[in-house]
Amino acid sequence: MIENYKPVNEQEEKDRELMLKYIDTFDDVLTRNNEMCHFTASNWIVNKDRTKVIMIYHNIYKSWAWTGGHADGDSDLLHVARKEAEEETGLSNLKLLSDGIYGLQILTVDPHIKRGKFVASHVHLDCCFLFEANEKDLLRIKEDENSGVKWVDITLVNDLTNEEKMKPIYKKLNEKLKTIK
């Protein structure tokens, strides 16, 4: 999927090039055993009108963010994305809108404590997928990962997050959304 992905900007072009290099260099990029870089799958979940997006309040990052998680050995990143979206929001009727990967990015992760263990700085090789959900469906918090789940006006996403590095990514995803029917 990454080889066939058509980058939409310079950031995605460079990140795609590096991801392919990491895949060729490391045999463990699908697992957290690779403590330097490993794959994650994220989601941009929008309502039918494309005016709102689902955001969770991420407990580790202390910020409103998209949903997603680690591949943990699963090479089917679409499966990982869907599973994480369902686990983190409670939504189960997700409709895939993108034809494969919707956005591609390498994201830095600062050192932190997770489940009582120190996690060193590393990067996530992230593939994002675009889903549609019914905003009337019941949302549920996944307490060990987030402490909030809500629909957010798409124009206010960057006002809500306090992760500066994510703002250009969210802006890119919203811009790209204008091309999806």
Q: What is the pLDDT of residue 154?
A: 96
Question: Does 154 map to a domain?
Answer: yes
Q: Domain for residue 16, yes or no? A: yes
The string of pLDDT tens digits covering residues 68-77 is: 999 999 999 9
Residue from 141, 137, 108, 110 nearest 125 by CA: 108
Distances (CA, A) of 106 to 13, 56, 81: 11, 20, 16
Task: Quote the CA–CA distance of 93 and 63 in Å, as a whole number.
Answer: 26
Print the domain residue range for 166. Answer: 10-177
Is residue 4 in some structural domain?
Answer: no
Domain count within the chain? 1
Asked if residue 92 is part of any domain, the answer here is: yes
The per-residue pLDDT for 61 is 86
Distance CA 139, CA 125 (A): 27
Q: Is residue 106 assigned to a domain?
A: yes
pLDDT computed for residue 140 by the predictor:
96
* pLDDT, position 87: 96
Quick one: pLDDT at residue 98? 87
Residue 142 belongs to domain with CATH number:
3.90.79.10
Model pLDDT, residue 86: 97
Give the pLDDT of residue 58.
Answer: 93
User: Which pLDDT score, from 0 to 100, does residue 35 have?
Assistant: 94
pLDDT along the chain (181 residues), means of 10: 96 98 97 96 97 95 95 97 97 93 96 91 98 97 93 97 96 93 71
45 CB neighbour count, 10 Å cutoff: 26
The answer as to whether 2 is a domain residue is no
What are the tens digits of pLDDT across the range 21-35? 999 999 999 999 999
Residue 56 lies in a domain: yes
Dihedral through CA 93, CA 98, CA 104, CA 108, nearest 10? -20
Is residue 58 in a domain?
Answer: yes
